[in-house]
Amino acid sequence: MSGETVWVLGASMTRFGRYPELDTVDLAAQASLGAMSDGGVTIHDIDVLAAGTLYQASSGMGQRLQKQIGQTGIPVYNVSNACATGATALRTVYLSIRAGEADMGLAVGVEQMGKMGLLAGASKEDRSVYEPSGRYGAVMGVDGVLGTETMPGVFAQAGMQYAYENDGVGFEQFARVAFKNHQHSTLNPLAQYQKEFSMEEIMEAPLQSYPNTLLMCCPTGDGAAAVVLVSEERLRSLPTEVQRRAVKVSASVLTSDPYVEGGQVQPDVNTLTRNAATKAYELSGIGPEDLDLVELHDCFATAELIHYDNLGLCERGGAGDFIDSGAPFRDGDMPVNVSGGLISKGHPIGATGVANVFEVTTHLRGEAGDRQIEGAKVGLTHVIGLGSSCGVHILEKAA
Amino acid sequence: MSVERDTPRVPIVDYLQLEEVPHLLTNQCSSCGARFFDRRNACGACGATEFTTTRVANRAVLKSFSIVHRAAPTVEVPFVSAIVETTDGTTVRSNVVGLDDLAEAKLGMALELITYVCGTDDDGTECVAFGYTRA
């Protein structure tokens, strides 16, 4: 039936980290089998599969996964959308169910990055003879000559622009974001790193791109996450115990970046996040004040701070005061990234936008163990992929 | 000037105009005025397809920056990556150059476009880059 409410039936993720002994399909299979098992269903219940990976986008990940978990002939969508890849896979399944084409579907996000190190930023190759090439007629790589192309730098600039436009934001506020997320990760056995650092250690860690030090940047790593989504009608045919653990998808939104002046040289990560959040709040009838926890895209500490504002978690311009007040700490008014966030839980790119739905789902079910936010009923997930794409999901505990 | 002309030189990117007073050029949408450093099939802001070539002001303020300490092995660090806003409202990305100490970079500081030679190829052609220095 089209237009139905969609629910999360099962969810699973591997611990994020490094798995040199496994390949990417193994990781995807582990998360997929885990999600189906968690939902009490098998591959024979699944009507559609969406598989997200960025670095293996052309590898036919979905079909390769089927060979490991069951080839049933269902439609497969291979999805790639930068750091929003996982959220896009999830939304692909969501749309199939909403369209009435599927009753139940599996969305998986996976990445195996190993120790890739710094992302983006071309090496500056001095050609033997200068010849203009590309859309800008460049005669050499411009990274480091015409600004930075690396991710820590691009997101540093996003944060510094916020600092330029608003009071009360500086190095210390950005560092405090990382302090919080490292602290949170000590309670999450699925996090890549589970170590607390002092403010001093964070601020004195090697500078990558000021104001982001090494401890304010997410690591690269391996991991997978998967969810089983189900239609309302099909959910009601399942045992009561299964229904009780289901989590409602109250909003699923994907946006891209509208034109803004300056977007051609510095990606605007704000407008599309604001647009996605606004639409998600409208669709769900839920406001930021109703949220019990948020998992947002803290690829760098500078990114998390500005998304407090973009998602409406704080007053406009008030992100510095918000972190200083302690509000986004797990014992604060608006817990953010209680998983440890990308900074400490890790960021295997394709997995991230499914893993944050796993995290919120686990809290809404009351199954998050030591890191449980007590009484959590509503949560929001957010990812952003540069280029740009933003995915926001709002999840609600079953009534 | 005649000595300089003996050495062939090329701009690092085609939107840097070296002659007379060096400056940047944009493809400006004839309909809405949006400016682009690359060629566009249609305007990203409004979809119109007519463009004119427009000069960008050389004076600017520092809207955002990052002091980059880690980059690809062939990139010299540290340097100040900058997002500047020119006095005619165009956002440009480049480096802040000519600071004695990189910590002198401050949000809102007044800047001015300068050019400098950033490399020479095997034919002796110089590559000219642009950056922003304290105005």
Q: Is residue A142 part of a domain?
A: no
Quickly list H helices, A186-287. Answer: 199-204, 232-236, 240-245, 271-284
Q: Are residues A209 and A234 in the same domain?
A: no
Q: Is residue A325 part of a domain?
A: yes
Residue A341 lies in a domain: yes
Structural domain of residue A267, as residue ranges?
151-216+250-397
| Residue A211 with chain B: CB contacts under 8 Å | 66
- Do both A262 and A245 map to the same domain? no
Which pLDDT score, from 0 to 100, does residue A115 have?
77
- The vertex-A343 CA angle with A356 and A259, nearest 5°, equals 70
* Mean pLDDT on A309-331: 98
- The percentage of chain A sitting over the pLDDT mark of 70, rounded to a whole number, equals 98
In this structure, what DSSP letter does residue A387 have? T
In chain B, the domains with their CATH numbers are 58-134 (2.40.50)
CA dist B128 → A29, A75, A90, A152, B117 (Å) = 52, 53, 47, 27, 4
- 10 Å CB burial of residue B120 (0-12, 13-18, 19+) is middle
pLDDT at B2: 43
Structural domain includes residue A129:
no
Domain boundary among A230, A249, A268: A249
Residue indicated by tokens 């005061």 = A321
Residues of chain B predicted below pLDDT 50: 1-3
Selection from A206, A209, A201, A148 nearest residue A175 by Cα:
A201
Q: Is residue A141 part of a domain?
A: no
Residue A294 exposure: Cα atoms within 13 Å on the Cβ side? 30
CATH of the domain at A12: 3.40.47.10
Give the nearest chain A residue to B61 (CA atoms).
Answer: A164
Shared domain for A38 and A105, answered yes or no, is yes
A324 and A371 together in one domain = yes
- Cα(A360)–Cα(A378) distance, integer angstroms: 8
> Are A274 and A351 members of one domain?
yes
Distance CA B84, CA B106 (A): 12
**Which tens digits make up the pLDDT trace of A55-103?**
999 999 999 999 999 999 999 999 999 999 999 999 999 999 999 999 9
A146 is a domain residue: no
Smallest CA–CA distance, residue A270 to chain B, in Å, is: 15
Do the beta carbons of residue A163 and residue A170 sit within 8 Å? yes
Q: For residue A123, what pLDDT is reported?
A: 56
**Is A284 in the same domain as A228?**
no
In this structure, the answer to whether residues A159 and A233 fall within a common structural domain is no
Let me know whether A308 and A265 are in one domain. yes
Same domain (yes/no): A202, A85: no
- Listed residue (B37, B71, B7) closest to A265, CA to CA: B37
In a domain, A357, yes or no: yes
Tell me the per-residue pLDDT of A109-123, one tens digit each, with 9 for 90 and over. 999 998 777 777 765
A297 given a catalytic annotation: no
Residue with tokens 């089209």: A2
Residues in chain B: 135
Could you confirm whether A217 is annotated as catalytic? Answer: no
Question: How many domains is chain A partitioned into structurally?
Answer: 2
What residue type is A154 in one-letter code? V
Percent of chain A with pLDDT over 90: 94
State the Cα–Cα distance between residues A272 and B101, nearest whole angstrom. 36
pLDDT in the model for residue A124: 54
User: Are residues A157 and B91, on separate chains, in Cβ contact within 8 Å?
Assistant: no
Q: List the catalytic residue out of A182, A184, A297, A347.
A: A347
Same domain, A278 and A234: no
Dihedral of the CA atoms A226, A232, A233, A239 (nearest 10)? Answer: 70
The two structure tokens encoding residue B41: 């099939």
The answer to whether residue A103 is domain-embedded is yes
Angstrom distance (rounded) from CA A170 to CA A159: 9
At residue A251, the 3 state secondary structure works out as: strand
Q: Across the interface, do B70 and A265 touch by the CB < 8 Å criterion?
A: no
